[in-house]
Structure 1
């Protein structure tokens, strides 16, 4: 018998005096004992076995040779608290599935309380006790708690995404859109996501470049996305009932929600479906939610802090932050790589628990692991790893300078002050340089100027932003990974390669020239332009994480399936939310989706414009002037970035966070200066997000203002 663990993050949902709370019991206590406890034991066994099997597979070196495992790698919970929540949620919901037939929906509060108590379920975050100390007043917590005085969990890690519109699930509570293959929408079945990817999003690697912006705009978007949201998937890669590997089944059995391959798809020769895993649910939502104090559909976990706070550098938990710090000295430094260096500059440390793709030509046997950073997705692509590397170098540079200016500061103050500066630096780059370019004048007017901290604006990331709107950037990724020399020409030694060859490959950075050629490639080459006829090139649609001739993943299908998994409302609901009229036919969306050929494809697929998946609908719209989104995404992006800025008590321009002199020093900064201070580049654009051909528009690093640390 498995011992039920009640020491997990338990939150007793119902008052202990259940018999006196006025609730009418559907079953008596003896029946509760005879049914609930055995079901819980069975759920613990089945979920435990499935997770154990997955954990065992991770230890097999060969798993890093498959694209599926690489995809799973960066969807795993980032810390033990998140893993506990995900496991508790799986046990909770699977127990409910077991009991559903036995109890015939005769559930009482007592039943639910038992499930919650013994599965380790946490339906809502408990408001933390916020310390009233000098340090807590001056510096934000690593997990984001206590930013708001009363809603202390707003923006904190391991909390549900917020909803701007009610969730849309097929059974009203938890089953994903498309879960039931015969379900009709306006009299028609929704198209398979792979069918949509094939018919409406398919294009070659010959792409239109963005004439205005460099590829740095794309990678900063991905980096800052990882700073503010992360949705872990189920801990198991097998079905709970039968323990069938999700890669070997085309049935919808939690946590598996496979992507069906259409009969006319070339992939049907090798696979009838592509594996997909549902996102981990917040315990106590979904089918059981009606039994709580208010109706609550299935929600997903944001495992990192919502704030733009450089959690990518420092982590979203105290435990991870302590691992990443160099505590061997009292200088407030971050750990760096002990085995390799980029000339005189540091690399990120390796994560000893995470293997990565190895150089197939190397016979030395010296393994190069994935990098270790505040966000586990750091090694997903070399361009992302390069941005992470900049900030770890910048932290240590600033910490050493502050030690000279303030020799009386101990290591903790040096660390916290530097972390605070780096967090502010992220905000400067994001709101001053990046955001205006993606939301344009219309979005900037919607976001408005900063007028101070707003206690009524929730900075928590919304589900639709994380799952659809901010994924607009996937359509701006170049199919090529470019490395350039000192004159911003193609590097003679390290040539341009296809995008998929740079996934999970830190060895290419270590052994192929460091980060300088990568940074020049980001600054000196164009982003992909969002064009309705060129939505998703084959590097992402047919070769995502392609390794050793394995069946690769399809990013377009993954994004569409994830939106359905999360219960995102479809196009018409969001049109109305963003001030547009609901559409009854495709001629009524012609003002937004102006490409006639694309509209005809969407009509053939969806039959009705109101049921288009929201991520695709946003990409299909004509870009607003000066932006990289149409009406729908501009509405969502500007709203979220407004809440993130205004609802953050530690936003750098908020009165009292920094002194006026410090704010003035920070406002003179640019991302270009970070690059100059942390790499071997000597010439860059003042705004590295703008594109021009070298040497036009490039200036010496000596002419770019530095951070005046004397204000500290």
Structure 2
């Protein structure tokens, strides 16, 4: 949840405009077609969001909040703006009321779908490692952050009685409540008499043109891959994370730099010496392997900043900070497009959507392309990653070659203190490199479907049920609608799935037309050379294409487009960077001295054996190219 005052003010305005749309529809002043197609720009709502103040001439650097990227549409991609749509939403009232089945009856409980269809199982990938999975979460947190309605003082809403044994009576429920039913027959929650899983609907964003219309949920992050979860997306958070000399703040742990400690009561362990870290999005402690990536990128910024300071002693700390940030952002985007996406989508689809990096400058920018994330990407396709999580993390002892420990993942959620054990960071990196991720299928570890964020309780949250309910909250249409969108025939019978899946689907859904997008996407066989099936692959490829074509500050854009364009020589250096180089330059070096050349492929595969970090096989960026002449 968010307690950001800017978000709360905008969400309040979005809500006013929603109520106006409901009133206008009740008076038949707006038709269903006008609402579905967004043809309501002639109807202003009672709230109009203030336009950002953009510098003229445009800044050399990205704004912290993502605004002022597009010169004509200055809010595209900015924090606290709405998710866009591939298809008009499926709200049962056309405005905000959650989807019902194709027959008009209620959809099955999201927990019932999860309990019957999303099972626990282990199917390790033959090629991809857990670093691939973890980088995917890092990308997702950078570009997408849900914000939910809260009480006026920022406190969380409860939709259930204190122990989840019953729903709160309707007169006591907040109108943003959409709790998930879990009946006494539930084979897990039933033993705890838990019949109500708390769920609060996402906050709404007002349209930038002030018009009324169907609900658009608010993104609490910038929509761009810009490391906003490292730096922050508000002046307040950016200031909190900065240190003198153009550096990012760190916690000096006996000569090792870790992310700065936070004063927020977020982590579960609060004993003396327990570490809890601050991040740009306040989610860096969610799981310790994610905290490892926050650590590596914090160190990378500071490594670059120190080098720039030596090369350009006349620069002040503001310029050092902004230039180091600009370079780190470019490195991150290059790794995303050159290494991660081809392994996710396969070379054919990456080629078709123009996602491969260019030899030099890129010429793909289109000012009419809105780079903002789609609801389908955020609530379904990008959440393929929940299927590839392994329930346990294997941590090797690199000196002995034995397994140091095996950790059940809920035990390191909001408990990052193991990073204070001196060899742990190196061991964690090596474990992520060697351990295979799971394949994309309708199997999700029970660490996410039963024990997520359980704290000291015997049960936790069901992430699969949350995913399904969140898709319905956002008005995402059923799976078949997206098959039609990409030119595939809709599925007319459950028997078109595997016999096992068909039987389970038929036991919860009335019709194939009701299958939730996230569920249907996980049931597809992966495309050739890809991790995901055809529907998710097209939604993902479309989104990353929009980001590339709609981002004026995209790292490959030349000076004709990008006010902060790199010189050809600088861009060539950035294109040498791989995640393996980031790891090699920012590891502790206590036990880890070698790294597989491809950081996202299993280190036990022939041709990807670890090589010394000073090997030319893992090229290094020459920062002397960034000396100002």
TM-score by length of 2: 0.87
Shift of 1:622: 0.8
1:635 paired to 2:526: no
8 Å Cα contact 2:433-2:600 kept in structure 1: yes
8 Å Cα contact 1:250-1:260 kept in structure 2: no
Aligned to 1:597, what secondary structure does the other structure show?
helix
Which residue is equivalent to 1:354?
Answer: 265
CA distance in 1, matches of 2:338, 2:388: 21
Which residue is equivalent to 1:469?
Answer: 381
8 Å Cα contact 2:597-2:610 kept in structure 1: yes
Cα deviation code 1:303-348 (max 9, x no counterpart) = 211111111211112221111111xx3x2111111xx51x532011
Aligned to 1:705, what secondary structure does the other structure show?
coil
CA distance in 1, matches of 2:384, 2:48: 30
Distance verdict in 2 for CA 1:569–1:194, change over 3 Å: same
Distance verdict in 2 for CA 1:481–1:90, change over 3 Å: farther
1:335 paired to 2:249: yes
8 Å Cα contact 1:215-1:689 kept in structure 2: yes
CA distance in 2, matches of 1:417, 1:686: 27
CA distance in 2, matches of 1:210, 1:386: 22
Cα deviation code 1:622-649 (max 9, x no counterpart) = 1101111111001100000011112111
Aligned to 2:284, what secondary structure does the other structure show?
helix
8 Å Cα contact 2:130-2:436 kept in structure 1: yes
Query: Which of the two has greater helix per residue?
Result: 1
1:659 paired to 2:567: yes
8 Å Cα contact 2:331-2:574 kept in structure 1: yes
**1:262-301 matches, cutoff 5 A:** 262-266=183-187, 267-269=189-191, 270-283=193-206, 296-301=213-218
1:256 paired to 2:177: yes
Distance verdict in 2 for CA 1:547–1:324, change over 3 Å: same
8 Å Cα contact 2:184-2:194 kept in structure 1: no
Cα deviation code 1:520-579 (max 9, x no counterpart) = 1111111011234xx112111111112223431101101001111111111121111111
Shift of 1:661: 0.1
Shift of 1:602: 1.4
Which residue is equivalent to 1:687?
Answer: 598
Which residue is equivalent to 1:128?
Answer: 52
Which residue is equivalent to 1:372?
Answer: 278
Which residue is equivalent to 2:125?
Answer: 210
Cα deviation code 1:639-662 (max 9, x no counterpart) = 000111121111111112110001
1:430 paired to 2:355: no
Distance verdict in 2 for CA 1:382–1:546, change over 3 Å: same
Q: How many residues align?
A: 586
Shift of 1:257: 1.1
Which residue is equivalent to 2:38?
Answer: none
Q: Which runs of 5+ in 2 are unaligned?
A: 31-44, 357-361, 560-564
8 Å Cα contact 1:123-1:284 kept in structure 2: no
Which residue is equivalent to 2:464?
Answer: 556
CA distance in 2, matches of 1:149, 1:553: 42
1:225 paired to 2:151: no
CA distance in 2, matches of 1:488, 1:441: 39
Structure number, greater radius of gyration: 1
Distance verdict in 2 for CA 1:407–1:481, change over 3 Å: same
Distance verdict in 2 for CA 1:487–1:177, change over 3 Å: farther
Distance verdict in 2 for CA 1:123–1:573, change over 3 Å: farther
8 Å Cα contact 1:188-1:607 kept in structure 2: no
Distance verdict in 2 for CA 1:281–1:555, change over 3 Å: same
8 Å Cα contact 2:81-2:206 kept in structure 1: no
Which residue is equivalent to 2:39?
Answer: none
Distance verdict in 2 for CA 1:211–1:96, change over 3 Å: same
CA distance in 1, matches of 2:292, 2:210: 47
Aligned to 2:127, what secondary structure does the other structure show?
strand
Distance verdict in 2 for CA 1:334–1:276, change over 3 Å: same
1:382 paired to 2:288: yes
Aligned to 1:497, what secondary structure does the other structure show?
strand
1:86 paired to 2:11: yes
CA distance in 1, matches of 2:596, 2:261: 31
Which residue is equivalent to 1:16?
Answer: none
1:507 alignment partner, one of 417, 424, 438: 417
Q: Which runs of 5+ in 1 are unaligned?
A: 1-74, 110-120, 179-183, 286-291, 360-364
CA RMSD of aligned residues (A): 2.9
CA distance in 2, matches of 1:459, 1:527: 29
8 Å Cα contact 2:13-2:48 kept in structure 1: no
Distance verdict in 2 for CA 1:579–1:107, change over 3 Å: closer
Which residue is equivalent to 2:345?
Answer: 439
Distance verdict in 2 for CA 1:639–1:279, change over 3 Å: same
Moved more, 500-509 or 250-259: 250-259
Distance verdict in 2 for CA 1:401–1:222, change over 3 Å: same
TM-score by length of 1: 0.77
Shift of 1:122: 8.2
CA distance in 2, matches of 1:173, 1:208: 41
8 Å Cα contact 1:251-1:257 kept in structure 2: no
Shift of 1:96: 7.9
Aligned to 1:676, what secondary structure does the other structure show?
helix
CA distance in 1, matches of 2:91, 2:279: 36
8 Å Cα contact 2:52-2:67 kept in structure 1: yes
2:297 alignment partner, one of 372, 388, 391: 391
Aligned to 1:483, what secondary structure does the other structure show?
strand
8 Å Cα contact 2:222-2:228 kept in structure 1: yes
8 Å Cα contact 2:160-2:179 kept in structure 1: no
Cα deviation code 1:649-707 (max 9, x no counterpart) = 11111112110001100111111011111112210101110103299611000012111
8 Å Cα contact 2:17-2:212 kept in structure 1: no
CA distance in 1, matches of 2:291, 2:599: 18
Which residue is equivalent to 2:492?
Answer: 584
8 Å Cα contact 2:129-2:434 kept in structure 1: yes
Distance verdict in 2 for CA 1:309–1:482, change over 3 Å: same
Which residue is equivalent to 1:345?
Answer: 256
Which residue is equivalent to 1:575?
Answer: 483
Which residue is equivalent to 1:420?
Answer: 326
